Homo-oligomer: A and B are copies of this chain.
Amino acid sequence: MGVRTQAVKTAPAETTALAADVSDLGVLQGLIGFRLRRIQNHLSRTFAERLIDRGVRPGSFSALALVAANPGISQTELSRDLGSDKASVVSLIDELEGHGWATRQRSTSDRRRHALHVTPAGKKVLREMTAIALETEAPLHEALSEAELSVLSEMLDRVYNRCFAYDID
């Protein structure tokens, strides 16, 4: 398994059990986009599987968490924080509101805006979903130390906030 070239096949000893089966990344070596995707692909799929009983999607969890942490946030602001389009947020909030986990309140100062809030029931389910999210990311804690995970998070936040947070129309 994993052996495809004569050159590799003739190498009798493997430096580590893992390294031998890892493909050369070629020009992808200098890029991080594909690295983000292949990890995120696994994580979101696993998370979605574990969340399916509750009728929620990973995106709804992120939305609920952000509304809980930023009470009164608008949908457009939320779309910026989620890194997606404002139209996508509509169905997310529809879902949360349908479960009775979040509310839309028409802003009195600017009647175009919906101020979003999380209900007590929403806070309860958020705690449960957070536990599932942590469980899903548990494997990361075996590959990376806590210090490394902090560094990783900080770097990803810096990238997002400096590069993309203001791209959304």
Contacts and interface: CB of A to CB of B under 8 A. Distances in A.
Contacts of A40: 33, 36-37, 40
Interface string A127-147: 000100110110110111000
Given A26-B68, A36-B40, 6 more contacts: A27-B126, A31-B137, A33-B44, A37-B58, A39-B159, A143-B158
- How many identical subunits does the complex contain? 2
A33 B58 contact: yes
A42 interface: yes
Contact of A84 (B41, B151, B162): B41
Contacts of A112: none
Interface residues of A, number: 74
The 10 closest A-B pairs by CB, nearest first: A26-B69, A38-B83, A139-B163, A24-B69, A36-B40, A35-B156, A143-B162, A42-B164, A33-B43, A34-B62
Nearest to A30: B134
A146 to B, nearest CB: 10
A49 interface: no
B71 A164 contact: no
Contacts of A21: 165
Contact of A39 (B18, B22, B164): B164
A101 to B, nearest CB: 14
